[in-house]
Amino acid sequence: MSLKLNYSMSLANSYGLTKTQKVASAVGMLGLFIFTLALFNVEFPNKATTLTLALSMLFAGVIWFSNSMYLSKSKGIKNDGVYFKSLSSKGLIGWLIGVVLTLFYIVLYFYPQYLGLAQKDGSNTGLIALFDPLSQLLSGRNASQWFVYGTLYTVAILVFGYKFILKYRHNRYEQIRTISVMFFQLAFAFLIPEFMYVMNSDLPYYDLKNVWPLNYYNFEQYRIKAFINAGNIGLAMLIFGVVSIFVITPILTYKYGKRWYCSWVCGCGALAETAGDSFRQLSDKSKFAWNVERWVIHSVLVFVVLMTTAVIHSYLGNDTSKYWLTKSSFLIGVAVLLTLVFAGTMIFKRKELAKDAKYGAIGYFVVIAVLFAMYFFSKDNTLFVFKSESLRKSYGFLIGSIFSGVIGTGFYPIFGSRVWCRFGCPMAAILGFQQRLFSKFRITTNGGQCISCGNCSTYCEMGIDVRAYAQKGENIVRSSCVGCGICSAVCPRGVLKLENDSMKGRINPNEILLGNDVDLMSLVNENK
């Protein structure tokens, strides 16, 4: 068998689409067209049938397309023509899709009535009404704009996840990781919250894999009330919410790096890795972008910490006899926790921080300390200068909607697929902070084998200049790395490997690479 030639591989044109691929695309487009018709209030006789048809066409179109695109070729890297295609190289099609996606997000967040959301006492119309039958089936209530969005989001992850699995047919890490994000999206983000509603309609919507601070609204008053009113199950969910950020997250990040979340579980990551895969190469690799990234993402983190503290503070009482957690004990607790993190980092990890990282950390700490002091020394009731309500609202608008949705996803075809994860996500900032300083994860560089070709840097969705490390024979230990594994997959010389190993020797800058004179290596590498 090994001697037989494989004649089944066709000479399909890599850049222009084949006839089959065009027909397959058309089928998928037809599915989308049905949604567009619904958006413009075309009345379909049988909504359930129409919705089923439209969704089936989406699935069929992408699956057929992917089969034709990848199954006819031998296993291996499939990046031929990425920079010749308009879609994936910021061409006209890329820009058009960017504009359409951005508009969709603006309507979704701010004008859901245009999607057909029921106004006072009315019933749904348009696109949202089309999804009523599915929502009824799952939870016995009519659809909302978030149900429509959630369904489309899940469908996108499933169909493009399938495409991704075929594209990386030779790479089991990529395949298993993709199956994982498809599962978590379908089960945790989509189905389980609907079923929980059926079981107990008092429970607030809770995607259990969405951890604070990504899920910045988790500890708002209405949710806390709802959790507590829902009895044991609600209380369990609330406790799980606290445990997931303070216990589960640190343990898993220590063992596996932030990838356990960002590219195995998270819904934002899931969309970026599947539907966003065609755009990963568009991320900005410059040093300038890296500097912007570090300031912006950490500022968002400080913002969310202050906002959440203010919000929780606003609804806590002052009477210790009623409930053990009061306004002041809560604030003191937060202050102690932040001081411990700051002091611990400065004492034990000082040497691993760059100069500007130290200044940044001190700056942020001073700002937070001053805000706390201002509160304690004034009689005024507004914590952190602003009212908690306006902090909450502006975070929700600026970060929750504009940054993560409109810019984060709408601009996929322009800035690449991980703009939100890289510049905005406060959860990524926490995980990254730990990954950089206290985790077993790293990307190992294979001795002196790097040829500086640049495939790794080009295809890094987080804009990490992977080559800069690989060509120095240095392991890659970066806060932003989500462990997607694509740098390792596209490397033509087998230089990169994602690994969990001991903390010792994890960061290993080399001036002279393996393969040269041993005396020279020890002279230069040890005399630094």
We find the least distance from the C-beta atom of residue 6 to another protein, in angstroms, to be 5
The nearer residue to another protein, 14 or 329, going by C-beta atoms, is 14
We find the least distance from the C-beta atom of residue 493 to another protein, in angstroms, to be 5
The nearer residue to another protein, 113 or 525, going by C-beta atoms, is 525
Q: At a CB cut-off of 8 Å and minimum separation 6, what does 228 contact?
A: 234, 235, 238
The nearer residue to another protein, 84 or 95, going by C-beta atoms, is 84
The nearer residue to another protein, 125 or 508, going by C-beta atoms, is 508
Owner of token pair 């308009």: 86
The nearer residue to another protein, 517 or 526, going by C-beta atoms, is 517
- What's 64-124 look like in SS3? HHHHHHHHCCCCCCCCCCCCCCCCCCCCHHHHHHHHHHHHHHHHHHHCHHHHCCCCCCCCC
The nearer residue to another protein, 12 or 357, going by C-beta atoms, is 12
We find the least distance from the C-beta atom of residue 141 to another protein, in angstroms, to be 41
We find the least distance from the C-beta atom of residue 463 to another protein, in angstroms, to be 13
- Residue-wise burial string across 143-171, b where 16 or more C-beta atoms lie within 10 A, e elsewhere: bbbebbbbbbbbbbbbbbbbbbbbbbbeb
Residue 343, helix vs strand vs coil: helix
How many other CB atoms are found less than 10 A from the CB of residue 206? 22
We find the least distance from the C-beta atom of residue 519 to another protein, in angstroms, to be 7
The span from the CA of 421 to the CA of 428, in Å, is: 6
We find the least distance from the C-beta atom of residue 264 to another protein, in angstroms, to be 12
The nearer residue to another protein, 72 or 328, going by C-beta atoms, is 72
Q: Which residues bind another protein (CB under 8 A)?
A: 1-3, 5-6, 9, 11, 13-15, 74-77, 79-85, 170-173, 176, 286-287, 444, 446-449, 451-455, 457-458, 467-468, 471, 485, 488-490, 492-494, 497-499, 511-521, 523-524
The span from the CA of 158 to the CA of 165, in Å, is: 10
How many other CB atoms are found less than 10 A from the CB of residue 511? 14
We find the least distance from the C-beta atom of residue 172 to another protein, in angstroms, to be 4
Q: Which two tokens stand for residue 170?
A: 């030779």
The nearer residue to another protein, 432 or 485, going by C-beta atoms, is 485
How many other CB atoms are found less than 10 A from the CB of residue 102? 18
